[in-house]
Amino acid sequence: MINEDSIFELLKLSGVPPEKARQRSVWLTEDLVWIDFDVFQCTPANSPFRDPQTGQVVPVVEYEFGTTQFSVNNAENLEDKRSIAIGGAGLNRGSLRWFSIVSELGRKLLPNHWLKCKKLRNALRSPAQHLDTLNEVWWLGRFPAAVDVMPCFQMMPPKDIDWRFRLSGSDTWINIEVKNRPGDISRHVHGLTKTADYLFSKIDGKFAPSPTNEVNFVALSLCGAISRDVQLCTSEWLSNQNEVDGVLIWSTESRNSRPFDSQNRVAKAKAVSSSAIREPEEELEMFMVYEVVHWPREILGEPPPGL
């Protein structure tokens, strides 16, 4: 039975300091009651992870929240390289440590919505939307000065963007559309190429041209490294935009490259991305999603190539 004490122990097991784990266990318990998942089960994953801060080897504590499009059981054969034939945290399971951080961010940045908004609750409860919704709140947390936050803001009705907010102490407004790209896992595991059509799909028509005191951003969450190809693809796409001022990219694959990058089309976007954005922190963001993945070859007991 999952409860506050068991969550506390699992968070400690995953490397969260006891004092912080205790508070987060209280919050997560409240969240679970509010969300009321049809399915929720925690388990330490088979593969441990070395915490970048302490060097301690800890389990990646995962949780199941229902069925998504990703699963090793989708594999049609042992050489199936489709992203939907891969499973793991960030695909068809979540990281409890990640959930606990986003829970804290939600309380700080969305006090009028977290534990209160039915639309937000339904999105967190839906297996198809759960991880994307956590990702959207995480990106909001990259802007510690965000105030007057408006979710699902319509710049170009009926389409909406994920967030509109003002930077505290200024009259600068940020409009941001967040895109989680779990299908990028096939680039990370198998080296498959992802094009701009995939990376920037379902963005057209969401933004209006930004006035002087506003900045329009697209934020991408990727599984594979922020490679030169990704940077060139982003630069080319952005150069053809009139409404998007900048692109922010975070990758959970940070062993061989920086986990964060930004490209800006106009000076005001560069000013915001260099001064108002908090980059990912080692405490959480650099380890918790894709270190545990499963693919058809594991049926034969073979390790993944390059991992």
Residue 230 lies in a domain: yes
Asked, for residue 305, whether it belongs to a domain, the answer is no
How far is Cα 138 from Cα 104, in angstroms, rounded to an integer? 10
Predicted pLDDT at 52: 60
Residue 60, H or E segment: strand 57-64
Q: Is 51 among the domain residues? A: yes
Angle at 247 between CA 245 and CA 251, to 5 degrees: 170
Q: Which of 100, 127, 307 is nearest to 223 (CA)?
A: 307
Q: What is the CA radius of gyration of the chain?
A: 19
Buried b or exposed e, range 76-112, using 16+ CB within 10 angstroms = eeeebeebbbbbbbbbbbbbbbbbbbbbbbbeebbee
Write down the pLDDT at residue 281: 62
Q: Name the residue among 183, 188, 181, 7 with its Cα closest to residue 99.
A: 7
Burial class (CB in 10 A: 0-12, 13-18, 19+), 305: exposed
Give the mean pLDDT per block of 10 residues along the chain (307 residues): 92 90 98 97 71 68 94 84 88 92 95 96 98 97 95 97 97 98 90 90 97 98 92 96 97 74 96 88 47 44 44
Q: Cα dist. 48→62, 77, 225, 242 in Å?
A: 11, 28, 21, 45
CA atoms of 32 and 155, how far apart (whole Å): 33
* Total domains, the chain: 1
* Residue 306 is assigned to a structural domain of this protein: no
Whether residue 19 lies inside any domain: the answer is: yes
Structure letter (DSSP) for residue 93: B
Residue 221 belongs to some domain of the structure: yes
Distance CA 167, CA 217 (A): 14
Taking each helix axis from N to C terminus, what angle separates 96-109 and 18-35, rounded to the nearest 10 degrees? 80
Element (H, E) at 63: strand 57-64
What's the domain range around 263?
Answer: 4-300
- Checking DSSP bridges between strand 293-294 and strand 87-88, what pairing results, if any? antiparallel
Q: Note the pLDDT of residue 288.
A: 44
Looking at residue 240, its pLDDT comes to 96
Q: Position of tokens 């499973």?
A: 87
pTM to 2 decimal places: 0.89
